[in-house]
Every structure is written in C-alpha cells, then in structure tokens.
Chain A
Amino acid sequence: MTTPDTSRLLTTVVRNPLVHFLLLGAAIYGLHAWLGPDGEEGSSQSRIVVSAGDIESMRALWQKRWNRPPTAAEEAGLIRDRVRETVLYREALAMGLDEDDVIVRRRLAQKLEFLVQDLVESIEPGEDELRAHFESHRADYREPGRTTITQIFVDPDLHEDDTFAHAERVGRALRALDPPTEGAAALGDRFLLQDYYPDRTEQELAKLFGSEFARAVEGLETGSWRGPQLSGYGVHWVYVHARTPPRDLDFEVVRSEVARDWQDARREEANARYYEKLLARYEIVVEPPADGKYASKGPEE
C-alpha cells in the first residue's frame, strides 16, 4: 500500500518526539471525548474539530510565551499545525506505530509518572500535616552540634617507627599540663593547621582533618586529652574543651524545607503505591535468555 516516499515520511514521523507528545496528548483528549457526555468530536474517525475552547487555549499559551496575542496569520498557523498533527497522529495510531517503539514506550511511561507527580505537587499540605512531618523527622531539621578542640600533631614522617612511642610520650606530657592546654602547642610537631579550633561542626572538622577524624572527635569526652587519634595526616592528641549539642530548630524557621521534603516523600509514596497497584494487575514472566544465563544475579533483579 505505502509507496517508498510515504513510508520514509512515516519513519520520520514516528521518530519525531513531537509526535510522541501528541500521541499522548491526543490519547488523553480522545479518551475524554469518548467518555464525555457530548461525544461529538470523537464520534467520527474522519472528522477533526478544532473547538473554540482549543483556540482560546492556544491564544492563552501564545500570550503567556510571547507576551502578546497571536496575529491572525500566526493563529491560522497554529490551527493548521493542530490539524496537521491530529491527522498524522491518528494515522500513526491506526497503523500501530506506537507499538514496540522503545522511545514511545519510554515517553508514555515517563508521562504517566509525571502526571502522578503533578497530582502530588498540586496538593497543598495542611499545617497539621507539615507539623506532623516535622515532628517525626526532627533529626533532619537540626542545627548541627559544635565542638571546640585543641589538637596536637605527631608527624609520622619525622618519627617513623618511633611514632607511636613518641605519641605516648607526648600524651603523658600533655596530661601533666595544668591548665590542660597551656603550652600544649610546644609539645607537638609543626603543622600547617591550627592547634585550636573553636565551635566547629563535624562537617567543618572533616574539611580540615578528614571525615574519619571528625567522626571520632564527635565521640570523645570533654575535658581531657584523648588519643592517639589517627587522621590522614598522622597521629593527634585531642582535647575537647566544650561541645554545643545539636539544636532543634523551630518549625517556623524550617517551614519551607519541611514543605519540600513533605512533597518529596508524598511523591515517592504515590509513585510506589501507584506502581504497586498497576503491577498487581499483571502476571510477570521473565524467560531465561537463549544461553540460559542471566547477566545479572538472577531474575528477581
């Protein structure tokens, strides 16, 4: 039936993502028309109606995009495009071009996901819901704790095999100090970083000493020399002067953050629920590949 020319055209059309958009848009539109009380537009396969409402919405979109209404010529162009797209779309559907096309499949699946997400985004959370989310996720809305330390460095490049023995000697000398950090600097080796760091968060200490050291400092008791403590640089003794515990923030301060997280959580839930519901309608069969071997660990993957 199809000449080489038209088949080339159709190939172009089916690869055209715009068509994919339209397939979907028209599918929804068509479904609505078919189900709706006045099925006039969908009543005939060979009839295409561009309604007054359609033209209104084209104008509104144009206005939004270009800050002016379309000219008569532009409007005629919009209508021509709409008709052309609808013709091509219906023909493409009729020919089953939407089937077994990886891009169409992906596009449709994505679109459905977006639709579900849009639903979530349009739900405005109530005050109570936000507060409940805030209460149940308090740890996420905390101002981090801060620690004030003095650290003394023992350089393994200087002491080599004697490093730990030397560190022990430094530790004994540090513990003998009174007040405990006075003169401490002189007992350590030269180091480009400071001895004294007031009010640092764990993240800030990680930027300076690496994350393992920073985590370890979080667990040290205050008011005594602790060590030897390892970092990416070498060996340290650490004196924790004081610690400000993490502080819960007022709901009002983090309100917008809570609202965003609430919506993220709802979206993930909605997606999962929606997919579960759809999945339940299907029986899933994964056949083993021809060579009988799965590339991954097994079919459950």
Chain B
Amino acid sequence: MNLLPTPSLATAAVLVALALASPAAADSVGEPGRGSGEPNPLNNVYFGEQHLHTANSPDAFAMGVRNTPDDAYDFCKGKPVKKSTTGQTVQKRVPYDWCAITDHAYLMGLLPQTLDPDNPLSKTEIGKLANSGDPADGNKAFGLIARAGLAGRSPEGFDDPKLLRSAWDRHKEITNKHNDPGTFTTLIAFEWTSIPFGQNLHRNVFFRDDEGPDVTFSTVDSDNAEDLWTYLEAQRKKGHETFAIPHNGNVSNSLMYNPNTSYGEPIDKKWAQRRALNEVATEIVQTKGQSDTHPALSPHDEFADFELYTHLIGSGGVLGKIDFSYVRQALINGVGFQEYLGANPFKFGIVAGGDSHTGFAVNEEDNYTGVHGNTDDTPERRLSGFVPTAGEAALTFGTPGATGVWAPENTREAIFDGIKRKESFGTSGPLIRLRFFGGWDFDDDLVEDDDFVAQAYESGVPMGGDLRPKPKRAKAPTFAVWALKDPASGNLDRVQIIKGWFQRGFARERVYDVAWSDGRKPDPKTGKLPPVGNTVDVENASYRNSIGDSQLAAVWTDPDFDPSQHAVYYVRVLEIPTPRWSTYDAKALGRPIPEGLPAAIQERAWSSPIWYTPDPKLVKKLDFYPGLQQVVPGSPR
C-alpha cells in the first residue's frame, strides 16, 4: 500500500512541525521513545515482562534454579547474567523497559532458605531433596510441594507465617531497589496459583504502590477466584491499588472463562462486574502455549493452529476441555453477557508473558535457553523429547511472549495505569509496535497524516476503549491500525481485525484481513489472501526478509455492522514465517527437527479489544442465550 504522503499533506505537516515551538514537542507526535524527560500525552510504547519466576518459586527451585530476583531484573535491563543451572552467561539482545516478577505466593522465597544448612528448612524432606543436586530428587521435591499445594496446605516445616512474611518483605525491598522511574520499571507482584485437580486457574496479582500489601494470597487461603477478588478489594481499601491477570485459560479445562461461578452457579450481573473490575487483562500467550483460540473453536481461522498446548498441567497427558478455555470465545461471550446481564465479566485487555521458571524473560527465538530450570537448559535436553513429571516435553513449550504498554512515561504508576486502561498488547515474542484506534468519523487516509495519533486520540478511542456513542449519521465504526515490525525480527505478513458479536443468542466471529504486504491480491472468488510465502532455510535455521513489509497500516470500516448488536474488535498482526526456537537448536546440534514440530512459525501480536455497546433502545433482548445459558457441569470440587 502507498504510504507516501501527497505533497499537500506533506507541506501541511511541515507547517505543523514548524508551528510546534520546541523539539521536545515535535518529538511527542507519534512514538517518541524514551528519556525526553517529559511525559508524552500521546503515549510511548514500553515493552516488558509481566510473568516471571525465580529461585523464589518453589517449583523453579526444585528444578535447580538458583537465580534470584536481582538476576531476573538485571537480565531484563540487558545486563549479562550467569545462568545457575549451566553456568553459561545469558543476555537479552534488546533490554526491556519494565519487568514484574510473579513468584508463587505459595512458599515464596522459602526454598532458597533450605540452602543454608543451619536453617531448619534444610532439614525438611523437601529441603533435602531439592538440594541433592540430582534432578530426579528435584522432581520428587516438586511432587511433594505440588501435593501439599493441591491439598491446600503448606508442607510440614514450611507453615510458619512469619517465614512467608519476611520473605515477602524482602521481595518487595528488592523490587523497589530495581525500580528506576524514567528508565526501568518494576512492579510489586505475585502469583496466585490455583490449580484444582490440575485445572489451571492461575492469576498474577499486581500493585501500583511502592509499599505493597503486608501479605500475599495463596491457594492455602483459597483456590476460588471469588476469594482472590475479596483479597484484592480489601487491599484496595487499604490504599494498595491492584488488579489480577489470569493466564493459561488453554489448560483450565473450561473453567477460566466459564459462564458459571466457582461454585457452579450461573454468573449474575454483580459477579460480572466484580470480575471485570478485578481482572483488567488476560495473558494471551506464554511458554505454555497461546490462549487466543483453538482450531476447534475457530474453524475458519487459518492461523488458529499456533503454539497449542493442550494437556492439563501435571495430568500425565489429559487433554483439557476446549470450551470456555480461550480468550476469543470469552471476549465474544463477554459482549453476549453485556446484552444478557447488562455487564461484561470478560471485559479485559491483552498482555503476554513468559512464565519462565528460570529468572530469564527470554523472548528472542534465536536466543532461547529454556524456561524450566535443569529440565530444558541445553539444546540436547530441549530436543530430547524427555517428559519431566512436572509437565510436558520441552518441545511443546514456546518462547516467552512480550507485552507492550502505551503509557506517557516509564514509571510504575504509568505502566500499571496503562494495563488497567487496557491500552496494552501482547506478542509471541517479537517487539512489534501496534497502534489501534476506533471511531465513527476517521478519514480514509487518517494513517497517512503526520498527526495521525493525535487525531485518532482526539476523535476516537485507543485499544482497550469503548467506542463512543454512535452518532446518528454514522453508518459503521471505523478502525485505524498501524503495525511496525520488530527491527530484529521478521517482516510483517498481514494485519487482521477479529470481530465477535452475538446474534440470536449465538456467538459469532469473523477474521478480516485489513492490510497486507507485497501488494498481494485476494482471490476474487473466495476473497482469501494468498499466503505470504516462506523464506525459512530449515537446515541453516535462517530466513530472509525478502518478503513481507516493515510496516502495515489501514483505516478499516466494518462492512457487516449491525447497530443493534453488541460487538468486540481486536487486532492480530502476523509476521512472515521465521524459524521456531527448536529449529535453531536442531541446527546447533546438527540434527533434524524432531518429528511433529513446525520448522517455522508466524510470530504475532494481539491488541486489546475495542468494544461497541448499542443504544439499549436498539437491542431486542432475547429470552434465551444458548451459548451462555447452556448448563455446564460444575467444577468437580
């Protein structure tokens, strides 16, 4: 597509630029990067990791990890760090702007204390096993920890609340030490690791202030999300602004985005409001697969089959139920609930993460060193196909994802607020920059204007927002999207807008290609865009950016808009195919790629959605919503 400005527009742009008095002002038109000193009202993108474990997580420790939160923050900042399980020095190519360590609240920081032979914890069975140096013993320790956790208690010897409290204080202290406003942000956080019967209901919990809560909340306290919300609401009352972000709906066995409460009751308006208030975002991809959608849920989405991770954690190979386990279905059911109940429980933004249990947010595919301690820290181990009892074979795991947050400056408050505002997006790893706005009267050539971003904020809403009320004359909403590739990764294949809505009580979805590379023409009969091609040289684990574009932009109007239907829109950006981490490993070992693995993947980014809520007068409410009111057997608890 032609992005070259017409001469008249260009001239106008120069005049605008000249009219702006100071260079700093000129710098704040689009995506001005960092360090200009002043907050940018049009927001900069800050990339970071919001889901990371260190040796302070008991499972990571049992897998031989000894890297500390200090190491983890240093790694995110781009410093070289020695990896404890192998002794190798690891370093990010492109540093992150922010990082949150989300060690499990359960036994947080206690296992490292078993290293001290004078500490009574070292005399516990778990302490002995975890420090034997034998991975098999580590696995046993992990089993003991997991068993106690599943039973909702601390293992013997680990149950003194004073121990947990002082470890948490220490964690907050280290997190605050690494927070450097304007340069590098850290957030006080922890993970609530609810996993009843192997069904993953995990949520990470984040705080806006420097003080943080006195105590964390773990599965020993409760494994019901409703109780976690009560904790969050109590913390807010104490002045600790907070939210939770669920992850791995894909292995929740249909519980994560279920239309029933944890107690098996159909959700009501109050429940929906509570969930939306307390869970402002959801994690769409991480090392244990993507939770965007499953091919069975989105049979017409040709890109749905990406980094699927389908077995329930620690189940020994039980496939999780698909329904209510994926983000896209939840977003669409959410607008259904908006119509049916008058509140949307699944009104969340999008983030991505690693969930790496090493201390290292290794989002770069060709710089991957594993995510589970001593089980996958060398290419040999990763490709061996060996299945540690704690999970799946390393082959099934993907590289960590990355989160971009649009914020006026790089501070703890601004990053927190950006996620809370849902002005965030997730990627499968590459640092793709993505702008997405929705409005009613965007010009067709809005993205060609030099002050595109300023205009879009002025006349529309950014990702994470609600479309303003429809003006009478407006026929359909328009969306402006701009994606810029990661300069160190593959070019872009296409930008898609995914629309979900409810029709006669049923959820509907459609994927629209809105911008694509290389001047391809959609098939005149099917409307389908031909594939971008594939330059991956499998044997050499390389690719060429001779296909795809550096940037893609479009203004798109919904061609199927019905003003009486609740709807939700979000963007998916696809890169051209590039080698998967396993392809780099296979090359390093001079081996063929293990059977069943794709040699190349199309990395991607997902925006937070923009919602349309019709004027209630237009909506003809139904008596029955089959997709929402179907009886789902309650959870087995």
Measured CB to CB, the residues of A under 8 A from B are 15-18, 20-21, 25, 61, 65-67, 81, 103, 106-107, 110, 155-158, 182-183, 185-186, 189-201, 203-204, 206-211, 213, 231-234
Contact = CB atoms under 8 A, between A and B. Distances in A.
A234 B550 contact: yes
Given A194-B27, A200-B35, 15 more contacts: A17-B128, A17-B131, A25-B117, A155-B3, A158-B4, A185-B450, A190-B553, A192-B435, A194-B30, A194-B31, A199-B35, A203-B95, A213-B487, A231-B487, A232-B489
B94 A183 contact: no
Contacts of B485: 232-233
B217 to A, nearest CB: 24
Interface stretch (B10-18, B304-312, B324-332, B470-478): B10-18
Contact of A190 (B5, B488, B517): B5
A297 B250 CA distance: 45
A174 to B, nearest CB: 14
B29 interface: yes
Given A61-B118, A155-B550, A15 B36 contact: no
A138 B402 CA distance: 35
A201 B95 CA distance: 13
B278 interface: no
B23 A198 contact: yes
Given A186-B10, A194-B30, A198-B36, A233 B3 contact: no
A97 to B, nearest CB: 15
A209 B32 CA distance: 12
B132 A185 contact: no
B471 to A, nearest CB: 28
A61 B24 CA distance: 59
A218 B159 CA distance: 55
A208 B26 contact: no
Interface in B522-562: 545, 549-551, 553
Closest 4 CB pairs of A and B: A232-B487, A210-B487, A186-B10, A190-B3
A191 B94 contact: no
A203 B489 CA distance: 17
B550 A197 contact: no
B269 interface: no
B3 A15 contact: no
A63 to B, nearest CB: 12
Contacts of A61: 118
Contacts of A185: 10, 13-14, 17, 450
A233 B551 contact: yes
B123 A18 contact: yes
Contact of A199 (B29, B36, B129, B484): B36
Nearest to B32: A194
A200 B32 CA distance: 11
Chief secondary structure at chain A's binding surface: helix
A233 B432 CA distance: 12
A133 B274 CA distance: 57
Contact of B2 (A20, A156, A158, A232): A158
B78 interface: yes
B173 interface: no
A213 B119 CA distance: 51
A198 B94 CA distance: 20
Contacts of B482: 192
A183 B134 CA distance: 66
A17 B14 contact: no
Contact of A211 (B5, B24, B94): B94
Given A157-B550, A192-B435, A206-B94, A198 B24 contact: yes
B299 interface: no
B551 A192 contact: yes
Contact of A157 (B33, B435, B517): B517
Contact of A186 (B11, B137, B160, B553): B11
A283 B489 CA distance: 50
Contact of A192 (B10, B26, B160, B433): B433
A86 B129 CA distance: 20
Nearest to B29: A194
A204 B487 contact: no
A107 B30 CA distance: 56
B549 A157 contact: yes
B162 A107 contact: no
B301 interface: no
A189 B545 CA distance: 19
Interface string B100-131: 00000000000000000111101100001101
Contacts of A106: 133
A207 B36 contact: no
A106 B431 CA distance: 41
A156 B550 CA distance: 8
B551 A17 contact: no
A189 B134 contact: no
Contacts of A156: 550
Given A17-B131, A157-B550, A189-B4, A197 B517 contact: no
B13 A186 contact: yes
B236 interface: no
Residue in A16, A17, A182, A192 whose Cβ sees the most chain B Cβ within 10 Å: A192
Contacts of A107: 133
Nearest to B447: A190
Given A65-B119, A213-B487, A189 B3 contact: yes
Given A18-B122, A182-B18, A207 B31 contact: no
Interface in B496-527: 517-518
B33 A207 contact: yes
15 contacts: A18-B122, A67-B162, A110-B133, A185-B13, A186-B14, A189-B3, A191-B551, A192-B484, A192-B551, A192-B553, A204-B35, A207-B34, A232-B486, A232-B487, A233-B551
B448 interface: yes
A28 B340 CA distance: 74
